[in-house]
Structure formats: C-alpha cells, structure tokens
Amino acid sequence: MALAGCAVPPGAGTQVSGVSATTKDAHTAVAPQSYGSGLNNLPDTAEQKGKLADAEPLTDGPNIGDFHQMGRASWYGRGFHGRKTANGERFDMHALTAAHRTLPLGSYVRVTNPATNDTVVVKINDRGPYARGRVIDLSYAAAKILHLAYIGTARVKIEGLTQREAKAEMKEILASNQSDSNEK
C-alpha cells in the first residue's frame, strides 16, 4: 500500500513493498471552496476589496423562507433519545427539533396543525421520516405542542423560515414561556 501526501517533493520516491510511490501516482481531488460558509463573498484580489462592503453577512444557517409543504407528520422520542442525528447532535426528545428528507440541516420551519391551529418552530437536525406517506418527523416536545403526541400522526402545514424570522419567533416563544412561569 502506498500513500502519497503533500510532504513528498515532486520526483522523490519512497519504497513500500517494493513499489515506488511518488506524487505523480497520487490522484488529486478538488475540494469545494465553500460549504455555504460565505467564503465566496470574500475578495479574490486587493482590487476587489471595495466590494467586501457589499458582501452579504454570514448567517447561522440556510434561508428557506420560500418553502411550503402540506403532509402528514409523525414524531419520535424515547427510542432515539441520545442517539446521534444526521448533523452530529445528540437527539433530545425534549428539544424543538425535527427530521426532514430534503430540507437543509440547521434550517428552521414553522409547523402548524390545521385541526388545532397550534404552531411550533423547529430546527431541522435529522433526516427522515422513513415511513411512507409522512413528510416530517417531530421531536416528542414539538409533537406535544401540536397535540399529536397521543394520536401519533396528523396533517400539518410546514413553512420555511429565514434565519431572522426563526430567531424572532424563538425569542417570542422564550419571552412567552418566561411570562407564563412568572404568573404561576
């Protein structure tokens, strides 16, 4: 087995199991410049520095404000509590999170149960659901807010949120929860 790396100067060979390995033997792969981190907004040259002021600010996550979907929601809880999700976080059944097949991880959506008009904002941190006919898997906490924890599934409306909208709604929910606890 031969390994070639950046530290091998061109033309310098090494012997591994009687086979000469050089950088010419190594296959190169071009990595993407950015994974949505905003690096493309940085100037390439000093002449482009003036354009940096026109760059969009970096965000915490993707903007899916134009996303809308209707479908059946289900929920998952105790059996997955503590397991790793698709984005590497540990699943917390008491957090307001959800799994979706295609939405970007780290994005936020507003999920509404039209039968009750209950609404919750959740962060997409996992992939799924894998059951046929379902469009989103909610955490137990989110399902409880939407009053579908005991019935198992329900038809829901999903609306994508911009990062600004998500932050504003989360602050509003937090303030509402704090005022509710102060009244008790």
**Distance of CA 158 to CAs 17, 71, 72, 120, Å?**
58, 8, 10, 10
**pTM over 0.75, yes/no:** no
Model pLDDT for residues 36-90, shown as the tens digit of each residue: 444 555 555 555 555 555 555 545 668 899 999 999 999 998 889 989 999 999 9
Work out whether the CA dihedral 147, 150, 156, 160 comes out positive or negative: positive
Q: Structural domain boundaries of the chain?
A: 14-54, 68-183
% of the chain with per-residue pLDDT over 90: 53
Residue 150 has pLDDT above 60, yes or no: yes
What pLDDT shows up at residue 34?
Answer: 38
For 93-116, what is each residue's pLDDT tens digit? Answer: 999 999 999 999 999 999 999 999
Under a CB-based contact definition with an 8 Å cutoff, are residues 111 and 122 in contact?
yes
- DSSP summary character for residue 1: -
The pLDDT value given to residue 96: 95
Tell me the one-letter amino acid at 90.
R
More confident site: 179 or 105: 105
CB 14 within 8 A of CB 8: yes
CATH architecture for segment(s) 68-183: Beta Barrel (2.40)
Span 107-127, average pLDDT:
96
Rounded average pLDDT over 146-171? 93
Residue 77: what pLDDT? 85
